[in-house]
Structure 1
Amino acid sequence: MTRAPVVLWFRRDLRLGDHAALLAAAEHGDRVLALYVLDDALIRPAGSPRVAFLLGCLRALDEQLGGRLMVVEGEPATEVVKAARAIGASAVHVSADTAPYGRRRDAEVAKALAEHGIEWVETGSPYAVKPGRVTKPDGDPYRVFTPFRRAWGRHGWRRPADTGPSLVDWLEPRGSVSLPEVPAPEGMTLPEPGEEAALRVWDAFLGDGVETYHEDRDRPDLPGTTRLSPYLRWGCVHPRTLLADLDGDTRPGAEALRGELCWREFHADVLFHRPETARRNYDRRFDAMPCDTGKAAQVAFEQWCEGRTGYPIVDAGMRQLLAEGWMHNRVRMVVASFLVKDLHLPWRWGARHFMRHLVDGDLASNQLNWQWVAGCGTDAAPYFRIFNPLTQGEKFDPSGDYVRAYVPELREVSGKAVHKLRERPEDYPEPMVDHAAERQVALERYGAVTGR
């Protein structure tokens, strides 16, 4: 007896390898319709770099499927049901989405499908451990990273799923729309999209990068990071694949990389339990924290966005973001600290700017990392952590090569002197603020909130 076909609705899992939902779909039905929904609720707030990369990943997935990816546009609760009914599907399979919007959307889609007798099946998630599964012995969620990491490691994760394009018979799409053309900003070169590109990047890093990752990952002047964040954002590679390849590797670099993957899972877990933290302070005491607003604050924010602060490491980071749709993680912390603790501006302003320009913009990681730097997040005692942009530049860009790569006005300044300029080129601005003075202002404001 021929089994009814099923739908595999792709979202943040744009790959065919190590795909748990694909494996479940294959067990449910031999014939599978590959579906993607262009959802305006997600497309509209995303900046053009992220949308352009997403569309590239969809084209790469379609090519892997031999042109059999069905793309539709509209409300998911309408379009998924329509696609499923058109093929007489018995079920719709997905990787679970645990973000605030995704949970609401999926509840609506599952309800609409149930009205037509179509099963909703969630298998796996974009994380090695699905958010919500790692808890304290009493069932409460973890609020601090270090104990979460220990529990996360003890919990463990499944081995990669053995899946690929030939696992099922992919149905020909009916009524698929053409993917829109959304170019990246002029002059910006995005990473090569898709699963195959992600695996090439990972294989290259395994060969050369793991050995020194723990030492080089904080150095923006060196190619010391994996550069996998855009691929993880869209699920072109699953973190379980990476962790499996690191299994048994006890080198410091491998342990540091496992830790960075765990940070991503921790923030997803925090957002799962506290969905309001996408917009509001995790520590509600900081609702009383005074921030600068008004016309002068807006002008200062625009200078920060443009990389015209007069602090070389900050300006290099902000210009890298505009040039590449990406910024080195250490520099992300430095520029974020400068915005909230030197300029005294709301962290939400910076988080919104990042999400508009980052190719790897991820709600949980972005919002909660911003809160970590701003002092209102999950860290137990963050109020006194104020990054000095001068010493950070000297420590992590000791040769000055990173600054010179992105701030052409300073290319004639040699060595680490680029960080503490004795003389400034005429076309490079003076510092917007005095860091030492603004540090004291920040400490006073934090002290008023924390009572310390």
Structure 2
Amino acid sequence: MTSVWWIRRDARLADNPALLAAQEDGPAAAVFAWSRGVHLWSGRRRAHLARVLWSLREDTGGAIGVRQGEAEDVVLAVAREHDARVVFAAREASPAGVRAQEAVAAALEADGRELRLVGTPYAVAPGRVVKGDGTEYKVFTPFSHAWREHGWPAPAERADPAGLAPVDSDIDLDQEAAHGDADDLLVERHEFRESRVLDAWDEYVGGDLARYAEERDRPDLDSTSHLSAPLAYGQIHPRTVLAATARVRGDAARKLESELAWRDFHADVLFRHPHAQHESLTAVMPEDAWVTGRDADEAFMAWRDGRTGFPLVDAGMRQLAATGTMHNRVRMVVASFLVKDLHQPWQRGADYFRRALLDYDHAQNQLNWQWVAGTGRDAAPFFRVFNPSAQADRYDPDRRYVERWVAEVDTPTYPAPMVDHATERAVALADLKRGKATRASS
């Protein structure tokens, strides 16, 4: 009996429980829905997605289908074509992902079919890690301890690429990649083949992982795992990563595991509080603290374009524009600068990152911005204001990162700092104090 595998954020053959479940009783038909939501992605993300799906098609002998339309229509059509009574898919936890799976489930049920959700893109499914009384963790450290105690299964076996029934496509992936490049060309193309992602990860575990604990905050050193994009597009599962790090002793592996715990923590928060995608979980500032108008727009564009006069901020924003990624330490610095030096709401920065990041992950992006802004769960307190000059001295001591991305940094053409950091820090802290007083009196 044929089943359907609805491809979501799991475009891979290795460690894919939903695909294995679909293949359990025979060949599975596989389809990805190229929906209106995907059309709204940035060109860089659409181009990379098209290449990821192209690679998966190649690995399966051209069997998977990619069709234009909303998921409920596409999945139902393929189920009917293959007389499939059951559709298997990974469970999503983001607001948009939940809406999509509810729509697909309703469409299938109305047609006498069933959606079965198997697995998630996380080591531990959002909502599973709870306190002894069944309530959520609001602080990361105890969450991470409980997360480790909860544990996760070993990686699933690799699916049979020959065990897929051919599905027709109406999306030209080569054309979509070309269109995405034309809209939003990156200076470097990121790896999109599952086999090479896995090979690179194995090489990292045997090599540069040993330096991760000491060097992970150094943007001038290439010591990070480069897993953010493969995780975002589902070419590697966190279980696969954790199975490898479990075999490695020392702080480096534990630090990397902690980053995956943060990923699960943020997904858990957004799952429980869907409004956190747009609204602050904790009010810390009075609304009139945020600047508006033409001056605010011009300041935002200077930040966006890497023209602030603060070399580390400008290097990060130029790296983002050119490559679609940015070192995590620098992400924190540029976000703090926008919110606390330029006094702009975190939502504005998060929205720009949504369009600019190739490795965009909704929960990670929104909740990381809330962390910096001091409004999220276990957030950095608002009075922690990153000094961009001090951060550069500490984490890019030889200025190799800055000089790579800001070639004119030591020339007369480089702008002077657009604000005085000490002054703007004082303004931000005064607004914070005023906000506390207002809330206390209300």
* TM-score between the two structures when normalised by the length of structure 2: 0.95
SS where residue 62 of structure 2 aligns? coil
The amino acid of 2:8's aligned partner reads: R
The match for 2:165 among 155, 158, 171 is: 171
Shift of residue 204, structure 1, vs aligned partner: 2.0
| Change beyond 3 A, Cα 1:381–1:396 | closer
Cross-structure match for 2:419 = 433
CA distance in 2, matches of 1:349, 1:274: 20
Q: Deviations over 1:17-54 (max 9, x none)?
A: 00011121122x3011011110112431x211111111
2:131 is paired with a residue of what secondary structure?
coil
Q: How does 1:394-405 map to 2 (within 5 A)?
A: 394-405=393-404
CA–CA separation in structure 1 for the residues paired with 2:288 and 2:123: 36
| SS of match in other structure, 2:352 | helix
Aligned Cα RMSD in Å?
A: 1.5
Check the 8 A contact 2:284/2:374 in 1, yes or no: no
Structure 1: 4+ residue segments shifted above 4 A: none
- Structure 2 CA distance for aligned equivalents of residues 408 and 212 of structure 1: 28
Contact 1:339 / 1:345 at 8 angstroms: preserved in 2?
yes
Aligned match for 1:133, one of 128, 131, 138: 128
1:316 equivalenced with 2:315 (yes/no): yes
**Do 2:310 and 2:417's aligned partners in 1 also have CA atoms closer than 8 Å?**
yes
In 1, Cα distance between equivalents of 2:356 and 2:405:
16
Is 2:34 aligned against 1:38? yes
1:83-122 aligned at under 5 Å gives the runs: 83-122=78-117
Are 1:364 and 2:359 counterparts?
no
Query: Offset at 1:287?
Result: 6.6
Match of 2:282 in 1: 283
Residue 19 (structure 1) aligns with? 16
> What is aligned with 1:406?
405
Residue 286 of structure 1 and its aligned partner are, at CA, apart by 4.4
Q: How does 1:44-443 map to 2 (within 5 A)?
A: 44=40, 46-166=41-161, 169-179=163-173, 180=176, 181-184=178-181, 185-186=184-185, 188-286=187-285, 288=287, 290-379=289-378, 382-410=381-409, 413=410, 425-443=411-429
Distance apart, 1:285 and its partner CA: 4.8
Does the 8 Å CA contact 2:129/2:136 hold for their aligned counterparts? yes
- 2:372–2:379 CA contact under 8 A, matched in 1: no
**TM superposition shift of 1:194:** 2.6
Structure 2 residue matching 1:183: 3-state secondary structure: helix
- In structure 2, list runs of 5 or more residues that go unmatched: none
SS in 1 for 2:224: coil
CA distance, structure 2, for counterparts of residue 22 and residue 354 of structure 1: 31
> SS where residue 408 of structure 1 aligns?
coil
Residue type at the aligned position of 1:430: A
Q: Is the 8 A contact 1:194 1:231 kept in 2?
A: no
SS in 1 for 2:180: coil
In structure 1, C-alpha distance between the alignment counterparts of 2:395 and 2:288, rounded to whole Å: 30
| Runs of at least 5 residues in structure 1 that lack an aligned partner in the other structure | 414-424
Other-structure match for 1:10: 7
- Deviation, 1:164, is 2.5
Amino acid corresponding to residue 428 of structure 2 in structure 1: A
| 1:86-138 alpha-carbon deviations (Å, 9 max, x no partner) | 11001100011111011011111101101111111111000010101001111
